[in-house]
Structure 1
């Protein structure tokens, strides 16, 4: 259930190689990397069950749908099997619903195994979260994701529970942002998350009870 994640701007090729090695050794579902490293991660994971997730419009989401479309196409060509795209939160809060659906469809069309849409729960009202989830479902994406992890506040189990209540069975939930322990991860799963995004996957597993 873990997407082993490395999205720091200062990440090097050696850091990505370490990420991949840990993912293979520990049987993580995927590694999640910036677009520049999708090709490298894909080559290193060839023949492995571990998937590559590439981010789109990360971390702000405040670019054109056409740019997100091009970026999604690049990472698909380089071997990304999933995409985590950042919703244009400003457009959402400005009532530009059709534009949000358009940008999601521009990424979904590349036939990734899953497309996850990041909405930054702490920045939105409950009504805005509902509208965001509606747009994600209308756009054909599979997951709503809590956060980029770049905000000050960490994701909570209450955030996940809120998304579960709003999205119901229409969307799966990926919890990400400040999840650093086994107990935290378990809380997210119990609240409704079916995927965990974290940069501390090995530490989480080492904290699991025997």
Structure 2
């Protein structure tokens, strides 16, 4: 993590750190995957704690929520994905998992839509499932997003799926579940352009640099998922410090 040069004014350090804290609260960070171990989760949490900055959420698998909750308390929201990544759970199983997460105190959840329904163009089925999920859970969580594999979808499929989600009253859409599906600016811009000020869009997958994260923020996103969140934070602190130093010299 960026070290301020010796002799840097405390007021400048605090100003940069204040901006960095706000920036980090836009980023998701954690460790997911069914093979992740408790030891790996603890190691990942420690990496975050060592920075001195808290992310928007700490992302984990459901199985790790109880012990992570004991460590984090109310310091950072926990984020869990349901029916990850292909959305092939039955609706009843998705509901069971969401109810379980709510009972455990998880307040940030994303639910993967059924890829088979999307690729088969069964948009009414997508709307019905989304409608049930929004009716049951839309107002229960801090964040409740539905996930679409946009990088595997064409323009028409993205728009038809978003129209179904719009009809169901969905507020937040996560664009790609990760798993090597890299979100593009075009996918996010397409949704923002055709559904202006309608969805809270969460880009995910392949966001590796500060420039990429900032581009998604410029497109109107308020949340970015990235396994490189700590590197992005480091670059942001460095860039912000250098900006203030240039202002000081002019």
TM-score, with normalisation over the residues of structure 1? Answer: 0.89
1:39 to 2:39 alignment: no
Q: Is the 8 A contact 1:4 1:30 kept in 2?
A: yes
Q: Is the 8 A contact 1:114 1:142 kept in 2?
A: no
Q: Is the 8 A contact 2:210 2:233 kept in 1?
A: yes
1:41-99 CA deviation, whole Å, 9 max, x = no partner? Answer: 22221131x11111111011122111111111111111210111111122133343333
Q: Is the 8 A contact 2:146 2:174 kept in 1?
A: yes
Cross-structure match for 1:87: 113
Cross-structure match for 2:31: 6
Displacement of 1:172? 0.7
1:136 to 2:127 alignment: no
Change (3 A) 1:139 1:20: farther
Q: Is the 8 A contact 2:28 2:223 kept in 1?
A: yes
Cross-structure match for 1:202: 230
More helix by share: 2
Cross-structure match for 1:18: 43
1:78 to 2:107 alignment: no
Give, in whole Å, the separation in 2 of the partners of 1:74 and 1:105: 20
1:116-148 CA deviation, whole Å, 9 max, x = no partner? Answer: 111111111212111221222333332111111
Cross-structure match for 1:161: 189
Matched residue SS, 1:31:
strand
Matched residue SS, 1:150:
coil
Give, in whole Å, the separation in 2 of the partners of 1:33 and 1:138: 30
Unaligned runs of 5+ in 2: 1-25, 242-250
Q: Is the 8 A contact 1:31 1:53 kept in 2?
A: yes
Cross-structure match for 1:115: 144
Give, in whole Å, the separation in 1 of the partners of 2:191 and 2:110: 17
Q: Is the 8 A contact 1:119 1:145 kept in 2?
A: yes
Structure possessing the higher radius of gyration over alpha carbons: 2
* Misfit runs of 4+, over 6 Å: none
**Between 100-109 and 170-179, the greater mean CA deviation after superposition:** 100-109
Cross-structure match for 2:13: none
1:10-56 CA deviation, whole Å, 9 max, x = no partner? Answer: 211122223334445322111122221222222221131x1111111
Cross-structure match for 2:3: none
RMSD: 1.9
TM-score, with normalisation over the residues of structure 2? Answer: 0.76
Cross-structure match for 1:57: 83
